[in-house]
Amino acid sequence: MTGRATFAAAVLLTLLAAGCGKAGTPPPKGPQPSSLPSYQVQDAAAITGSPTLDAARARGHLVVGAKEDQPYLGQKNPATGEYSGFDIEIAKMVGADLGFAPDRIQFKTIASANRETALQNGQVDYYVGTYTINDNRKKLVGFAGPYYLAGQSLLVGKNNTSIHGPEDLNGKKVCSAAGSTPYQRIQKQYPQAKLIAYDTYSACVDNLITGQVDAVTTDNSILMGYAAKVPDELKVVGPLFSKEPYGIGVPKNDTALRYALDDALARHEENGDWKKAYDATLGLSGVPAPTPPPIDRY
């Protein structure tokens, strides 16, 4: 079974154990298509000088990199192949400002460790998937935004009483995604932890549920989604011990695209789409909509 299938099976078992799914019980919480905003496609003829956008225009659709296993952020429905979540809404709202309706966006799953290469090789036009803006990555790719501010946190089993923050990780098995900033932070700042890397956080969560690891670490936004799916088994603990500003990754030298995406984010924050999208997706994991961080037009 794949990691995703295992996690899905664990969720299903828990839901069945909780008595959900019987006639008359509400379906598990998830983005409701009816509450999602719709985005008006703009005339984008004035956006010129972007090689990425020119190629997408010639191709007839955008190719956008995303995650497929992060609840409320970026999730792929295995039955329909459709992607949903806050990051997906961000990708769609800015796509509309580039002249592409949502049905002209093809999403492509790219793992944390492969994002820079995917942007450098032209595998994706832009990337929206819990992607922290930092100076190291800026040497390789560009970032529009930020559009959201997360922070690193810890996910443990519901009955765990020994882990309350990163200083409790000495000798503990901690899982994170290869190539991610949370992985790098544990490696550098908490070298006593036994760090384990997978390609995805859902693989880490499977290992936490079966007791192979003691904790999963990444952004609180991601961990809250996993905990919300199986609240009887998992909990998020401790303070946020980093700042993870999420950006839209773009090819490094395509400043025309980067500024167009900054403009698009600003417009959708202003007109209420950002909040509406948040409320219908990430907001379902329990945290009210924050004010989006200021956009950094570098």
Q: Which is nearer to ligand GLU, 245 or 251 (CB)?
A: 245
Q: Three-class SS of residue 76?
A: strand
DSSP string of 194-253?
EEEEESSHHHHHHHHHTTS-SEEEEEHHHHHHHHHH-TTTEEEES---S-EEEEEEEETT
Q: Which is nearer to ligand GLU, 96 or 177 (CB)?
A: 177
- Of the CA atoms within 13 Å of residue 259, those in its CB half-sphere come to 10
Helix (H) or strand (E) holding 109: strand 105-109
Distance between CA atoms of residues 154 and 140, nearest Å: 28
**Do 150 and 246 meet the contact criterion of CB atoms below 8 Å apart?**
yes
Distance between CA atoms of residues 117 and 140, nearest Å: 9
Choices 27-35, 86-94, 128-136, 161-169; region in contact with ligand GLU by CB under 6 A: 128-136
Q: Which is nearer to ligand GLU, 97 or 206 (CB)?
A: 206
Distance between CA atoms of residues 35 and 180, nearest Å: 32
Q: Is residue 112 at the binding interface for ligand GLU, with CB under 6 A as the rule?
A: yes
Q: Is residue 75 at the binding interface for ligand GLU, with CB under 6 A as the rule?
A: no
Q: Which residues contact 92 (CB under 8 A, 6 or more apart)?
A: 39, 102, 105
Choices 79-87, 126-134, 166-174, 208-216; region in contact with ligand GLU by CB under 6 A: 126-134
Q: Is residue 220 at the binding interface for ligand GLU, with CB under 6 A as the rule?
A: no
Sign of CA dihedral 157, 5, 2, 87: negative
Q: Which residues contact 52 (CB under 8 A, 6 or more apart)?
A: 122, 125, 126, 250, 251, 254, 257
Q: Which is nearer to ligand GLU, 244 or 273 (CB)?
A: 244
Q: Please, which of residues 164-203 interact with ligand GLU by CB under 6 A?
A: 177, 180-182
Q: Which of 14, 50, 132, 160 binds ligand GLU (CB under 6 A)?
A: 132
Q: Which is nearer to ligand GLU, 96 or 155 (CB)?
A: 155
Q: Which is nearer to ligand GLU, 219 or 233 (CB)?
A: 219
Least distance in Å: CB of 33 to ligand GLU? Answer: 25
Least distance in Å: CB of 225 to ligand GLU? Answer: 12
Choices 16-24, 124-132, 266-274, 284-292; region in contact with ligand GLU by CB under 6 A: 124-132
Q: Please, which of residues 237-296 interact with ligand GLU by CB under 6 A?
A: 244
Least distance in Å: CB of 59 to ligand GLU? Answer: 26
Describe the strand order of the beta sheet including 69-70 as a list of residue ranges: 69-70, 74-76, 83-84
Q: Which of 153, 218, 220, 281 binds ligand GLU (CB under 6 A)?
A: 218
Which residues would be at the binding site for ligand GLU (CB under 6 A)? Answer: 112, 129-132, 177, 180-182, 218-219, 244
